[in-house]
Structure 1
């Protein structure tokens, strides 16, 4: 069975296929549970990718749903890969519980859109910026724990670039006036943001300080994740103050988040516009 590190996209896809096959066959959760000799909650957990995929259970369900060998073979063949822990498993001791689920989707996303109302979005942060921010946000944690979080972020960024996924980030110029670390840290962070215009899969928009209110004004940090798998819909990840996170998968609610972000991006300066001056660079860029 897969160690607990949050489901991978491969796991989610197979779980969703099992649900679709059950619904196509007109089999209720109760009837599927009877076939397994289990509680309906067990079938629900299987279909939500909340538990490992047991080969015997999956085979029983496929038989109950009347799935042909030709249609069921790819599912059975994919079980081994689906039960493997995600690459982030080794960092789970430094991750907040919700991060395991989010990174499980992020790791296969082809498009990530990010908004942060106060600081540079995490997937754009330099190691020094992230380290200084971790020190401020998690002062009670050990230096080793914070170092591991910086290491995890670097691995997320590396994998994002390696697979050519697109990242589109929007944040206010106030982030450039919030001194995270010292002047050197901020200068390095600004340099990375300025290089974004030349990076193929990266889009950065900064809302000026004197910009009027827009649809994302006052909205907590938001990520929109899109995976190229028809079984998995888009996700919206909303970080609520107080270390609570809402992972939204209801299509209408996700669409509302996308419309708001679209409108905010449309009103912001065009990607490639020079960054507004920050504290460490009071002149024009």
Structure 2
């Protein structure tokens, strides 16, 4: 079974390479399963990073695919690292299901783009803002809320440490929605003002009086630029009442990217300060 905390990028990459090697060799799932003495579903789980990478099984598959020793060596050498739990494993009990699926990509992504239709995007939230949301929107016990706050702080710290790019788009209504009271919102606004000055962060706020744009009415989304071509980019679509969809199909990912690009183009460009009253200036 897949570890509860989700596969790391290293695990995903090696799993994807095994699939590509099988397809290159023209070996079917059934034939690969016969080589392992297992069910085809076992091979599919291996290729989807849904189970650990057993060295014996991987070696058998590489031999069945007639992979040269030179090509097989780095794959076998990478198994130990791929099977290690991710840094987020200690917070697995506080994680949402979608985070368990994609946090490995997020934690090493070169670019994260995010849109929220009503609130400050998660990776820009202060602890007080996030805590107030958790108290209001969830029935989680205090221990789990604390774990969520610790996990978010660690995600933000790692994002900053590796200098990954974060591009956030959200409506000015988020700045007028009182989460946790005036003091919490003042601190949140100050953090956003500071974030807008950082080189690797882009903060765009759609004013209250701007017309509809391509992301209007779209639930929260996160577009993750995967660090390895073998696994491709992901879109995480959070639909209230319907759960979370993790989209990896290239055409669908491209569609969301185009819509997000168009919305960012329609919005005012990032500036040194957030709009004071949420209203736009200039031509639309």
Deviation, structure 1 residue 78: 0.3
**Residue 8, structure 1, aligned to residue 8, structure 2:** yes
- The residue that corresponds to 2:58 in the other structure is 58
Q: After TM superposition, which residue ranges in structure 1, 4 or more long, deviate above 6 angstroms?
A: none
Give how far 1:2 is off. 8.0
Partner Cα separation in structure 2 for residue 29 and residue 158 of structure 1 = 41
Deviation at 1:59, TM superposition (A): 0.1
In structure 2, the residue matched to 1:240 is 239
Q: Which residue of 2 aligns with 1:149?
A: 148
Shift in Å, 1:4: 3.1
Q: Which residue of 2 aligns with 1:205?
A: 204
Q: Which runs of 5 or more residues in structure 2 are unaligned?
A: 280-284
Q: Count residues with an aligned counterpart.
A: 279
How far did 1:228 drift?
A: 2.4
SS of equivalent to 2:111: strand
CA distance in 2, matches of 1:143, 1:156: 20
Aligned to 2:46: 46
* Alpha-carbon shift at residue 197 of structure 1 (Å): 2.7
Q: Per-residue deviation at 1:122?
A: 0.2
Q: Is the 8 A contact 2:3 2:51 kept in 1?
A: no
Using the alignment, how far apart are the partners of 1:9 and 1:188 within structure 2?
34
Please list the CA deviations of residues 71-108 of structure 1 after superposition, one character each: whole Å capped at 9, or x if unmatched. 00000000000001111111111112221112121011
What is residue 94 of structure 1 aligned with on the other side? Answer: 94
TM-score by length of 1: 0.95
Q: Which residue of 1 aligns with 2:128?
A: 128
Q: Which residue pairs with 1:180 in the alignment?
A: 179
- Of 221-230 and 253-262, more deviation after overlay is shown by 221-230
Corresponding residue SS for 2:271: coil
Kept in 2, the 8 Å contact 1:176–1:278? The answer is no
1:251 alignment counterpart? 250
Q: 1:2 touches 1:85 (CA, 8 Å); kept in 2?
A: no
Could you list the per-position Cα deviations for residues 170-194 of structure 1 after superposition, in whole angstroms to 9, with x for gaps in the alignment? 0000000000001111011101111
What's 1:26 paired with?
A: 26
Cα RMSD (Å) of the superposition? Answer: 1.5
Correspondence list, 1:265-280, <5 A: 265-272=264-271, 274-277=273-276
Please give the secondary structure, in 1, of the residue aligned with 2:166: strand
Shift of 1:117: 0.2
Q: C-alpha distance in 2, partners of 1:148/1:19?
A: 36
Separation (CA, whole Å) in 1 of partners of 2:67 and 2:155: 38
Give the conservation status (yes or no) of the 8 Å contact 2:114–2:121.
yes
Report the CA distance between 1:273 and its aligned residue.
5.3
Q: Any idea what SS the aligned residue of 1:233 has?
A: coil
1:221 counterpart = 2:220: yes
Instruction: Determine the C-alpha separation between the residues in 2 that align with 1:190 and 1:102.
Output: 28
| Range 268-277 or range 248-257, more displaced | 268-277
* 2:232/2:248 contact within 8 Å kept: yes
Q: In the alignment, what sits opposite 1:116?
A: 116
